[in-house]
Structure 1
């Protein structure tokens, strides 16, 4: 199941990392982590702990070497700014295409994914705000973007070459 990112904190965390793949119009960011718990969930946990009938809260000792649990699901966020898609019809069309592109790929790695529209589609080529041509172009570009993001990264020669030590 694919969840929906909604909190600004989660978007900031994901967008703070370098993009995993780019295309002419989109950038894809990924962070292998779970979204932060909502304020409602945190408040519910606090009230549940305060209502213990056995006295004060039990002290829990966590080992130092505990690693946070791996993310269990896939969450998708979309950033489609008004400066790149002026009409709301176009913004909604692009968001639907992003959701559909992720829904077509059930084997996505878990974590938080954010797709960001980074440049506008040409208005001369796509004059209608919600044309079939725009829908097909966006879907094809998103499919290529996800394919590129899921390919294993090939290291370049510069990265593989040993670093030369400076001579004193």
Structure 2
């Protein structure tokens, strides 16, 4: 599995299809044959493989420790589903914050379990259901 690195890679994937959504996350995908050309006429995704990126905005997770914990969960679970995901570029985006009254600590076991359960649901939906559309 390859990781997305550049801003242009993330933007290209976010412009693609939304494979699945949960209350807090969205999984976006871009088929590698649909990729736009890079700046110097080189493809954005040079290798035909599963590409993965994680977006956890400060807007929804204020503390860096929380953002990093969520990203670690995203990358760990994406490796579990690597063989079920198509050879494409994917981005998991946090689209809503977790309740601070319910999850007081930035890295509590309860928060990690909730994130993991929702990510498993997100990847399961993406690998079993057809895409939902382009938004």
So what's the TM-score if we normalise by structure 2? 0.83
Matches within 5 A, 1:57-72: 72=48
In 1, distance between residues paired with 2:48 and 2:74? 21
So what's the TM-score if we normalise by structure 1? 0.68
Matches within 5 A, 1:17-28: 17-28=16-27
Greater share of strand: 2
Structure 2 unaligned blocks of 5 or more: none
Q: CA deviation at 1:18?
A: 3.5
Q: How big is each residue's C-alpha offset from its partner over 1:9-35, in whole Å with a ceiling of 9 and x where there is no partner?
A: 111111112411000100000111177
**The one of 52, 68, 72 aligned to 1:92:** 68
Q: Say which structure, 1 or 2, has more relative contact order (CA 8 Å, 6+ apart).
A: 2
Q: CA RMSD in A?
A: 2.2
Structure 1 unaligned blocks of 5 or more: 43-70, 156-168
Report which of the two structures shows the higher radius of gyration computed on alpha carbons: 1
Runs of 4+ in 1 over 6 A off after TM superposition: 34-39
